[in-house]
Structure 1
């Protein structure tokens, strides 16, 4: 299983990265795109035909789903259309929210079922995509939001926190993961609002409690110091800590402290 970081900037697109979007590929599975934030559709084209992907949305804040509207245009108007519809999983109000975002006419919402086949996540109910299984879990965030546990046929696991504050649910989801892709949106402070995001310290504590193999930090906004967030996480977690960048590729393997990364493509 391989993770390609399409975009990793938190809250907004950054000068060097689109907002949140991650491509997961594995033998026997369709390309899985986890989140599709602002700017991600353009970067995604470097790696895969956007019409071929299955889209998995953790939640519906714009920095995680904005470019689905662009994907609708791609599916409808590309001169060499791919047959069928894009499979998309997301929270319960996904259809209404995306239909409103993509509406080009005078109607309040648009029927997008011609190009999108939408299914709602059910927390705790795993979904199989070819050879890969994805387990969604509700986590702590101001809107309905899911962390995702992705497992390949060999049992290798990648856990993505999505956006979440510290909670028992994300701890359970992350248990024993080979790689934990954890948001770390700010440095630690008692003044931070509760139930919104993880700090570097909290991401490190999560990785240590869950006994993961490797910690990849993501969703760091352009105004937050990556170095400070990484330093906080390293103070709490005794394994490898790395803040991802757009274009990196990481092999997800058992033990995962042997996982590799590849620099961003030109």
Structure 2
């Protein structure tokens, strides 16, 4: 599997960058995890929009879904131009899909994320786990036919479920919204130390810190995570690529 960070910022994008968005490619399949602000523009550096198979949205906060409706219009135009031949599948984790503002069901097929279900796309399978957050939010596990596994946390507070869900993963892409000194500020997000603790308990192969704050020294996040986790830790950045 090929993993590309399209956007990694929390809340809003820095200049010419993006909030949450991650491209997964395996053989001919191309899947986007979250579609936040700035993601649609950045995504086109790596994949043609007509070749995108599926999008998974972990929750409805704007920094994870802001560009989704623009992608719907792009899909409409590409299909009308004959560049895309099939509708785009979008899986969303929320309580009520009818409250979403998608307008063109003939071009975009919207599905609820079922925590008990497995979604197969090409030679990959996608499974899901409930997080702690102030709106319904889920983590996503991507498993390849070769036995490799990546877990993306979405937004979450510290909880046993993300530890169990991530156990034995090759790569854990875990939000790190806060520095340790801010622990307890928001129960729906993680400090870097908590992220490292989760990675250690899950015995993941390597940790990527993402959903980063717009202040402080991000190298401190790595130091704080490394006090719990002694394997490889990397900071996500726009354009980061990893082969799993």
Contact 1:41–1:71 (8 Å) recurs in 2: yes
| Cα distance change, pair 192–168 in 1 and its aligned pair in 2 (3 A) | same
Equivalent residues in 2 for 1:1-266, closer than 5 Å? 1-15=1-15, 17-27=17-27, 30-53=29-52, 54-78=54-78, 79-93=81-95, 95-99=97-101, 111-189=103-181, 192-252=184-244
CA distance in 2, matches of 1:193, 1:67: 28
Contact 1:25–1:32 (8 Å) recurs in 2: yes
| Cα distance change, pair 94–251 in 1 and its aligned pair in 2 (3 A) | farther
Q: Secondary structure at the match of 1:31?
A: strand
1:14 deviation in Å?
1.5
1:135 deviation in Å?
0.7
Q: Secondary structure at the match of 2:180?
A: coil
CA distance in 2, matches of 1:93, 1:84: 27
Q: Secondary structure at the match of 2:227?
A: helix
**Gaps in structure 1 of 5+ consecutive residues:** 100-109, 253-266
| Cα distance change, pair 154–36 in 1 and its aligned pair in 2 (3 A) | same
CA distance in 2, matches of 1:172, 1:246: 28
**Gaps in structure 2 of 5+ consecutive residues:** none
Runs of 4+ in 1 over 6 A off after TM superposition: none
| Cα distance change, pair 73–94 in 1 and its aligned pair in 2 (3 A) | farther
Which region of structure 1 is more displaced relative to structure 2, 200-209 or 51-60? Answer: 51-60
CA distance in 1, matches of 2:161, 2:44: 34
1:192 deviation in Å?
2.8
| Cα distance change, pair 15–209 in 1 and its aligned pair in 2 (3 A) | same
1:52 deviation in Å?
2.3
CA distance in 2, matches of 1:152, 1:250: 14
Aligned length: 241
CA distance in 2, matches of 1:112, 1:97: 14
CA distance in 2, matches of 1:194, 1:44: 30
Q: Deviations over 1:84-113 (max 9, x none)?
A: 2100111134643441xxxxxxxxxx6331
Which region of structure 1 is more displaced relative to structure 2, 79-88 or 151-160? Answer: 79-88
Contact 2:34–2:64 (8 Å) recurs in 1: yes
Q: Secondary structure at the match of 1:220?
A: coil
**1:260 counterpart residue number:** none
1:193 deviation in Å?
3.2
| Cα distance change, pair 115–22 in 1 and its aligned pair in 2 (3 A) | same
Contact 1:150–1:158 (8 Å) recurs in 2: yes
| Cα distance change, pair 226–16 in 1 and its aligned pair in 2 (3 A) | farther
CA distance in 2, matches of 1:148, 1:247: 20
